[in-house]
Every structure is written in C-alpha cells, then in structure tokens.
Structure 1
Amino acid sequence: MSDSQTSVHDLREMVRQFVDARDWQQFHAPKNLSMALSIEAAELMEHFQWITPEASRAIGDDPNELAAVGEELADVLCYALAIANELNLDVATIMRDKMVKNKLKYPAAEYRGRYGPKDQGGTPDGE
C-alpha cells in the first residue's frame, strides 16, 4: 500500500508487530534505538557522500541505487517509529507541534530561497 493509503498508525503497528514477534522490545531502550537510528542515518548518508547536489538528485534515475537508498531510509524510519512506540509519542502531534515552532522560527517571508539568517551564513541556526 502507498503513502496515501497507509496511516502512521499502520506503520507503527507494522514495526510493533515485527519487534513483538522477535521479543526485541527488551532491547529497545530509547538510548539503544536512538543510537541505531543514528547509525542507519549514517548509512543513508554514505550514498550521498562526495557527490554533487545534482548527482544526489539523479539517484532517482538509477533503480538499483534508489532501492538501496530506500532501504536505508526505511531503516531510519523503522527506528524512529520504534522510538515513538517505546516512548508512546504520538507522531502526528509531535510533527504538528514541531512545524508550528519551525514556522515561527523560520518565517517564510524571511527565509524563502535562503538557508540562513540575513546577517549570518550557514544553516538557519547560524552554524
């Protein structure tokens, strides 16, 4: 089923059932899950390391590379959802709340087409 046919709840339940069937919940302390998520994020980044922004966008043109990136992204999402399950976080609520904060922190009129504040270079946090 596609994104438009699958709820966040369905995805969380998929992860929960997978974990429960293997009795892995005992290993799923938030500390361990956050470290595993970071490791998977690094594996995702490896696919883009040392290539240009244009080449990173062209990955979608290579079915094998796109599949490999998709698998790493799925790993990242699985661990993120496992953290939500472990801590009983409502993903939709925390995403909505974070986007409200982001809209206040990065007003569209000020940040449209730029990635940093007017008086600093770097990221929106000034790094």
Structure 2
Amino acid sequence: MTQNDQTTTLAKLKKTVGRFITERQWDQFHSPKNLSMSIAIEAAELMEKFQWVPEKESRSLYAKGRGRTELEHEVADIAIFLLSISNALRIDLARAVKAKLRHNAEKYPVDLVKGKHHKYTYYQQNKTRR
C-alpha cells in the first residue's frame, strides 16, 4: 500500500522516525535542545528557498520537478525533527495540535478575524471597534 497522508497515521510516522534514530544510535544526540535547534535550522533552509521570491510566484515556484523534490525534502526534515522532539518529550502531537487549535479559536474568533491578519492583541485592544 502506498504511504501518504490518507493512509499513514502520526503514530506510525513517530514510530518510523524513532526506529530510524535508534538503529543509528542517534538517541544520544537527540536532546530537546538539539532537536529544537534543528527544527529552526531546517525551517531557515525552507525559508531560504523562498527568499526574495515575489509573493505570487512563491505559490507556483516549486510546483514540479527537481525544485519540488528539494522543497519536499526541506519540509520532511522539519517534520522528522518535530516528530523526534515529540518522541523525546513524549508529546502526543495530535492531542497537542487539537488543544492548540482550540486555544487559538478563542484568541481568533471567526467573526472577528475572518480575512484579517493581525495578532490577537490587536483584536483584544480593539474589541469595541468590530
């Protein structure tokens, strides 16, 4: 069966990443400090792909070909380190994401923020000016 977002669970991905690390005895290097830094480094590498690219072009620049593969590799690197830190800290990623979305829904009610981009503090300061 083909592995994709529709057929692969977070639990399976976490297990696969964990196995990959354990087989290479890299657990010793995968401290929360090192993993958090690795996430930031990989995110910077992803950002570099889009640096100086016009906003509109950024949506189609890596649509196919070698560039697409490179982009997928950068995104995968971030995901691998995110899954690794979740494993290291025993974070239930699905639960954490759902909890954070509930929290964000309170900070960013649809009727107040739809189509807008401000930080939640802006909406708190301007509640009377809906």
| Structure-2-length-normalised TM-score | 0.88
| Larger radius of gyration between Structure 1 and Structure 2 | 2
The alpha-carbon deviation at position 25 of structure 1 amounts to: 0.4
Per the alignment, residue 117 of structure 2 pairs with 115
CA contact (8 A) 2:62 2:71 kept: no
- State the 1:76 CA deviation: 0.3
After TM superposition, give the deviation of residue 67 of structure 1 in Å: 1.1
1:54 to 31, 56, 65: 56
- Residues 54-73 of structure 1: matches in 2 within 5 Å? 54-73=56-75
CA distance in 1 between partners of 2:120 and 2:74 (Å): 26
Which runs of structure 2 are paired with 1:25-40 in the superposition (5 Å)? 25-40=27-42
> CA-atom RMSD, angstroms?
1.2
Counterpart position of 2:7: 5
Partner of 1:100: 102
Match of 1:22 in 2: 24
Q: What's the offset of the Cα at 1:125?
A: 5.0
Unaligned runs of 5+ in 1: 117-122
Deviations 1:3-36, CA, capped at 9 Å, x for gaps: 0000000110111010000000011110000001
2-side partners of 1:125 and 1:39: how far apart? Answer: 28
The one-character-per-residue Cα deviations of 1:76-126 (angstroms, maximum 9, x if unpaired) are 00000000000000001000100000100011111111101xxxxxx4455
Structure 1 segments, 4+ long, off by >3 Å, are 123-126
> Matched residues, percent identical?
37
| CA-CA distance at 1:65 after TM superposition | 1.3
Cα deviation code 1:40-62 (max 9, x no counterpart): 00000001111111111012433
Aligned length: 120
Which one of 84, 87, 104 corresponds to residue 85 of structure 1? 87
